[in-house]
Amino acid sequence: MASITTKLLHHLAPFLFLLQLTGPVLASKIKSHAALKPQPPSTYIVHANHLAKPPHFATLEDWYHSIVAAHSPRPTNTSRILYTYDTVMQGFAVQLTGDEARRMSGTPGVAVVYEDEMFYLQTTRSPGFVGLDPKNGAWNETNFGDGVIIGFIDTGIWPESSSFSDNGLGPVRASWKGKCVDADDFNASLCNNKLVGAKAFRAGRAGSKICGGVPSPRDKDGHGTHVSSTAAGAEVPDAGLHMFSRGTAWGLAPKVRIAMYKACDIDGCSGADIIAAVDAAVKDGVDIISMSLGGQPRSFHSDAIAIASFGAERNGVFVVLAGGNAGPGASTVINTAPWMATVGAATVDRLFPANLTLGNGAVLAGQSLYAMQAKGTAMMPLVFSGSPGDWTPDTVMGKIVVCMDGATDAHGILLQNAGGAGIVGVDPREWSRDGTTAYAFTLPGLALSYTAGEKLRAYMASEPNPVGSFSFGCETVISKNRAPVVAGFSSRGPNQIVPELLKPDVVAPGVSILAAWSGDASVSGDFVDGRRTAYNIISGTSMACPHVAGIAALIKKKYPSWTPAMLRSALMTTAWTIDNRGRRIRDNGATADLNDGVRVATPLVAGAGYVHPDLALDPGLVYDAGKRDYVDFLCALNYTAEQLRLFVPDFVRCTRTLAGGPAGLNYPSFAVVFDNRTAIRTLTRTLTKVSEEAETYNVIVKTLKHVKVTVTPTTLVFKEPNESKSYSVEFRNEARGNRKTEWGFGHISWENENHRVRSPVACHWQN
């Protein structure tokens, strides 16, 4: 019941203030339509001022019952209050007639009474959690991104999915050059005004044999279908995985068109195929490219993705890439070039709770998508896993196997086949349950965080015959957990290639995301798994990347002439740094230096913060950059002329010096490196006004320990459209002694009554 209540409130919240203003109108409407005969009751929502509760009522619920009894005295054997609300609003839902609702609306302490209506739940949860609503805000302002085209470089697409329906969409724009290509298992007629392009590239993969046939864009893996529907899936009622997250699914930009360029399969992606796919996408005329892929960090001139994405940027295409899943270790972030948007993964306010009760009575809270409800299984022996190759009936029959390095649903299938009774996977990278990934186990199983896993380890070490019991509610719980938190698996900075450039840029929903799935792929992705599903729940920065692509499409719809750098700036400078509890976003990574479980997500972990589409549509000011700026940046890295020609074929020589070196790029963040030779670093940035009215901004500096920050000037006055103003920042090192392993963090923000343009700052001391 709690999850239903919070879901209803999430969708009702945008309307509560409006209804408070129109309460008298509502009451008048109820009165003027008073029935001439007995009215059947309907569900009404009563918004109450909890501070007005008379003192003789012990609880709010007692008060609510008295209100109902006074104004709706019909006898009943059960309470007619359906839900009571005490978190995001105060009040209750109840069955009333129209006359009863009219009378109740005048009760002291009752703010408003209104008849309920159906609100469709967003089962990916992420559109709603980042603030998107069908009735107002970014979706309404941009017509859901209608007409913008995102190209996905991925494993292909399952065109039959309802997420790719073109109901309500007009024809694709006349300038579009893409198409869908027939293959043995893919008919181009499956494409429509939603799926406007589908091509495949496989020649670069080792051992590939085309054998005269056309490579197929059909998705055999599920990944490409998932990410494309995450970004731009159509509205689909009653979507979900089993009973989990059931409701209406949306992409971040539901009317955006999709073009799939298959360059990957279950074994990975060839750099040659990626470049070919990006090349085709740019020629076809996509507005945005989303690539949830990457390899080891390497110099940009030897990175196929960096080279291909630079070419896309030169042609005005915004490129979004996943930041990698190698966290929580430092310097693990990938796809770190400044001309791409690099995305880390964070949570939404949703959990799939399940518990493991130990023989000593301790209850360990985890997550699971196991589809059999149980209040408590029988106590069974607990054993550590060993190697899956050692799972035989002699070793695991009737036992719960504990995997301290994590366990997926594919592991569970292997264990079930060997006679195991249950499985527990401990995720050593996630400090708390909030960031753990839930799996659709086929036998009783759940995932625990590092902290819960350590309690389990201690119990098993202290008890000669440890036992445990599972509890599965098979429920989806919303708004009860602190969110967002940055997932422990999300790769972190500092940037290995260019320490003077902060990466990732932003974080977005990437934990347990529901989206469309391939009919040729199993739920677990393992070939031994015979289960099939239309929608699946998976995690990774692969899932975070298309969230940003979808939001970028909304911005592109509103500002079609903006450069990719302007789009990225709008996303970064408006990002959230505060969670749903009003506190700074946490880092959920479990690392050796984390003792108390409370650590703020620094810019090395969260970049500029958690994306916020409504704010990104009105950033006020943006940091712009283009080909010339990026060439200067590469020159500051001392790239040779030959290396630079990989990015700009007609390049001759470096002709300008970038003041401040690579850190001097006009980027929406700052990374400053101090060494023993330089105590002062001065960087310059240029802001361009994109708001309609003249505005004055004042600077706010969140100071860094051991660094004096001086911004000149402290006020920027913008009068003309698209006017640009520059400012300089002096960073003075006031630290003493050797601080080579330390980082310090702050921010620089230009603010007025309408806008806040925030840039994260990181400073590093090294020899």
Q: Which residues pair with 39 in a beta bridge?
A: none
- Give which of 510, 568, 430 is closest to 226, Cα–Cα: 510
The letter for the amino acid at 501 is L
Pairwise CA distance, residues 403 & 663, whole Å? 44
For 428, residues 6+ apart whose C-beta sits below 8 A from its C-beta are 404, 405, 406, 450, 453, 590
For 324, residues 6+ apart whose C-beta sits below 8 A from its C-beta are 294, 332, 333, 334, 335, 490, 491, 541
Q: Residue 153: which H helix or E strand, with range? A: strand 149-154
Tokens of 112: 């408003």
Pairwise CA distance, residues 616 & 563, whole Å? 14
Q: Are 316 and 306 in contact (CB under 8 A)?
A: no
Dihedrals phi, psi of 606, to nearest 5 degrees: -110, 0
* 697 CB-contact burial (10 Å; exposed 0-12 / middle 13-18 / buried 19+): buried
Tokens of 638: 């001392």
Pairwise CA distance, residues 632 & 664, whole Å? 10
Dihedrals phi, psi of 477, to nearest 5 degrees: -110, 125
Neighbours of 577 (CB within 10 A): 17
Catalytic site residues? 154, 223, 542
Instruction: Give the Cα-Cα-Cα angle 101, 103, 104 (nearest 5 degrees).
Output: 65
For 13, residues 6+ apart whose C-beta sits below 8 A from its C-beta are 88, 89
For 293, residues 6+ apart whose C-beta sits below 8 A from its C-beta are 153, 154, 264, 269, 274, 305, 321, 322, 542
Helix (H, G, I), strand (E, B) or coil at 10: helix
- Give which of 266, 274, 325, 280 is closest to 304, Cα–Cα: 274
Pairing between β-strand 513-516 and β-strand 506-509 as defined by DSSP bridges: unpaired
Tokens 């109740």 belong to: 104
